[in-house]
C-alpha cells in the first residue's frame, strides 16, 4: 500500500479529513490519463464505498456526452449513475437558464455529444439560421466553416458563453490538444470579444451545485484534481478541501499562487486513500 509523503499536508488539520463525506473527482489526469486507467483508481473507489463516502466525477471536458462517459467509465470497470457525472456543459446550461432566460436557439462549437446534452436540456442547436447565443466548448470536430459562423454571431453582439477555460486537454500522445480556452483565444483575436461568461471550473458554482444536490456542506467535501488553475482554485473559492494529484498536468513546483494553493498534494489516489483510512483509524 502507498506511503504518505512527509510533505503532503499544508498546515491542514488532519481531523478535517475525518469529516469528509463526499469526494468530487476530476477525471482525465486524476483517475485516468487518455485511455489508461491509473492502478490506484479502482482500489480508491472501493475504499470510499467501504468507508461510506460518496463520490461524483466533475469534468470540464465536454467532448463526450454524459451517456458516453457513463459507458466509457463502465468499460474501465467503474459503474456510475448518470447523475454522478457532472460536466461543464451542465454549468453552462445553468448559466443560460439563470442569466439568459430568453435564449432558446444556440449556435454551438462543440461535438455531437455536447450538442446532444444541450438539446436534452431543452435548447435548439442551430447551424445556419439565426441564433440567440453562441456556446463554445471543447470541439474536437472543429471545422473552419463553423468557426467562421461562430465568429460572425459573436461579432454581431450575441451572448457568448464558454463552457470552461482549459487551454489544452491532457494527453499521453505526442501532440497538443487545444481545448475550449484556446478556441476562445482564437475567436477573441478575430472578433475582439472574450466570452461573456465562463461556466465550468474554476467557477465555484458548478461545485456548489453538486453540494446542494447532495445536501453537503463545504467541510464535508474534498475536491481532487490535477490542475491548479481550475480544480484547486475552484476548491479554494468553494471552501472545500483541495487535493492536488501529481498524476496529470501539475507539478509540485508549480504550487505558488495563494488563490489556488491546495490543502493536500498527493502523488496519486493511493495516498489519499491512506489518509482517509488513517483519519478513521482504519488500517491499510
- For residue range 230-240, list pLDDT tens digits in order: 999 999 999 99
In a domain? residue 71: no
* pLDDT classification of 13: cutoffs 50, 70, 90: low
Could you tell me how many residues make up the chain? 284
Of 177, 198, 219, the domain-final residue: 198
CATH of the domain at 224: 3.40.50.1000
Q: Which residues of 125-144 are buried (b: 16+ CB within 10 A; e: fewer)?
A: bbeeeebbbbbbbbbbebee
**102 and 171 share one domain:** yes
Range of the domain at 235: 14-60+201-279
Task: State how far the Cα of 129 lies from the Cα of 201, in Å rounded to an integer.
Answer: 31
Task: State how far the Cα of 67 lies from the Cα of 60, in Å rounded to an integer.
Answer: 15
Instruction: Write down the residue that cell numbers 432566460 correspond to.
Output: 101
Strand partners, 243: 224, 264
* pLDDT classification of 248: cutoffs 50, 70, 90: confident
* pLDDT classification of 258: cutoffs 50, 70, 90: low
Specify whether the CB–CB gap between 89 and 106 falls below 8 A: no
Strand partners, 134: 107, 160
**180 and 211 share one domain:** no
Kindly state the cell numbers that stand for 26.
476530476
Sheet holding 133-136, edge to edge: 124-126, 105-109, 133-136, 160-162, 197-198
Q: Tell me the CB-side half-sphere exposure of residue 127, using CA atoms within 13 A.
A: 7
**32 and 127 share one domain:** no
pTM of the full structure: 0.87
Per-residue pLDDT of 111-170, as tens digits, reads 999 999 999 999 999 997 899 999 999 999 999 999 999 999 999 999 999 999 999 987
Neighbouring residues of 165: CB distance < 8 A, sequence distance ≥ 6: 60, 180, 181, 184, 198, 200, 201, 202, 229, 230
* pLDDT classification of 283: cutoffs 50, 70, 90: low
Of 173, 198, 223, the domain-final residue: 198
Of 164, 182, 198, the domain-final residue: 198
**123 and 190 share one domain:** yes
In a domain? residue 132: yes
Number of structural domains (the chain) is 2
Cα distance from N-terminal residue to C-terminal residue, the chain: 7
Task: State how far the Cα of 275 lies from the Cα of 223, in Å rounded to an integer.
Answer: 14
The mean pLDDT of 181-187, rounded to a whole number, is 98
**94 and 185 share one domain:** yes
Question: Cα-atom radius of gyration of the chain, to the nearest Å?
Answer: 19
Residue 173 clears pLDDT 90, i.e. is over it: no
Tell me what pLDDT residue 131 has.
97
Neighbouring residues of 102: CB distance < 8 A, sequence distance ≥ 6: 132
- Identify the H or E element spanning 222: strand 221-225
* pLDDT classification of 2: cutoffs 50, 70, 90: very low
Specify whether the CB–CB gap between 197 and 99 falls below 8 A: yes
Residue 11 clears pLDDT 60, i.e. is over it: no
Task: State how far the Cα of 68 lies from the Cα of 4, in Å rounded to an integer.
Answer: 35
**97 and 178 share one domain:** yes
Amino acid at each position: 500500500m502507498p506511503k504518505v509523503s512527509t510533505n503532503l499536508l499544508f498546515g491542514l488539520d488532519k481531523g478535517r479529513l475525518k469529516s469528509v463525506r463526499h469526494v468530487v473527482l476530476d477525471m482525465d489526469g486524476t483517475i485516468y490519463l487518455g485511455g489508461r486507467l491509473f492502478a490506484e483508481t479502482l482500489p480508491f473507489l472501493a475504499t470510499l464505498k467501504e468507508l461510506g463516502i460518496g463520490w461524483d466525477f466533475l469534468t470540464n471536458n465536454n467532448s463526450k456526452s454524459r451517456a458516453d462517459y457513463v459507458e466509457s467509465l463502465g468499460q474501465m470497470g467503474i459503474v456510475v449513475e448518470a447523475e454522478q457525472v457532472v460536466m461543464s456543459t451542465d454549468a453552462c446550461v445553468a448559466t443560460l437558464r439563470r442569466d439568459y432566460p430568453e435564449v432558446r436557439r444556440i449556435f454551438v462549437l462543440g461535438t455531437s455529444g455536447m450538442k446532444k446534452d444541450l438539446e436534452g436540456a431543452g435548447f435548439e442547436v442551430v447551424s445556419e439560421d439565426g441564433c440567440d447565443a453562441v456556446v463554445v466548448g471543447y470541439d474536437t470536430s472543429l471545422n473552419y466553416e463553423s468557426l467562421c459562423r461562430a465568429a460572425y454571431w459573436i461579432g454581431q453582439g450575441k451572448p457568448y458563453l464558454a463552457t470552461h477555460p482549459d487551454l489544452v486537454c491532457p494527453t499521453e500522445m505526442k501532440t497538443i490538444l487545444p481545448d475550449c480556452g484556446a478556441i476562445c483565444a482564437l475567436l477573441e483575436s478575430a472578433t475582439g470579444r472574450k466570452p461573456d461568461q465562463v461556466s465550468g471550473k474554476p467557477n465555484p458554482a458548478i461545485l456548489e451545485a453538486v453540494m446542494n444536490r447532495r445536501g453537503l456542506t463545504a467541510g464535508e467535501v474534498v475536491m481532487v484534481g490535477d490542475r491548479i488553475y481550475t480544480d484547486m482554485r475552484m476548491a479554494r473559492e468553494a471552501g472545500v478541501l483541495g487535493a492536488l494529484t501529481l498524476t496529470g498536468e501539475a507539478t509540485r513546483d508549480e504550487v505558488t499562487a495563494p488563490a489556488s494553493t491546495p490543502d493536500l498534494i498527493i502523488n496519486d489516489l493511493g495516498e489519499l486513500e491512506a489518509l482517509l483510512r488513517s483519519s478513521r483509524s482504519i488500517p491499510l
